[in-house]
Homo-oligomer: A and B are copies of this chain.
Amino acid sequence: MPEYTPLPLVLAAEQFARLPGIGMKTAQRLAYHILTIPDEDVEEFANTLVAARRAVRCCAVCQNFTEKETCAVCSDNRRDGTVICVVEAPRDVSAIERAGGFEGAYHVLHGLLSPMDGTGPEHIRIKELMTRLSGEVGEVIMATNPTVEGEATASYISRLIKPMGVKVTRLAYGLPVGASLEFADDVTLVRALENRNVI
């Protein structure tokens, strides 16, 4: 920002720029916006974020975000605790819940294995997952993203779990519903062919 910009405005822009997906240009626009709205609104914004950070912790069972000791899914006895869907982050639980149709429980890893970034098994919630695999659990669905890290994590965890006699499954690869063959990437198309189903 130009030298005449007031320092508090520069600092506010820098804070916004630390958020993921917010570039310096957007951050500056947001900082300017903050100065044009009433004091009370800025305080409400600030207080809501701090309150959210303080109120929300990880569920003692599944590690998803919750306000309580145990999250709403884990405390809901209509959910099937014998199927555990393993995801990278709380936003993935959100996505699956929004889609509907899954009645089991979750486990949030809070990260993926990534040797490049120095993230090893001890940095994500694998230990917590292992302690849940009592006699009750019949299936663990690896629902990490279809990326290199997601694949590596799914395969690492499945190697840990299989010897315990628990079934481990992986989300299906294939064409996104509504997509065109024409625009599908090669790897997806090969997987869709390999995993073809009888109709």
Which positions in A face B, CB cutoff 8 Å?
1-9, 11-12, 15, 18-22, 26, 28-37, 39, 41-56, 65-67, 71-73, 89-91, 93-94, 97-98, 110
Contact = CB atoms under 8 A, between A and B. Distances in A.
Copies per complex of this chain: 2
Nearest to A7: B67
A183 to B, nearest CB: 22
A111 B42 CA distance: 20
Contacts of A12: 48-49, 52
A21 B65 CA distance: 27
A9 B98 contact: no
A110 B35 CA distance: 11
Interface of A is mostly: helix
A2 B97 contact: yes
14 contacts: A1-B98, A2-B94, A4-B93, A6-B65, A9-B52, A9-B65, A15-B44, A21-B30, A28-B91, A29-B91, A34-B49, A35-B65, A42-B53, A46-B50
A20 B20 CA distance: 16
Contact of A56 (B4, B8, B22, B97): B8
A42 B18 CA distance: 11
Contacts of A110: 36
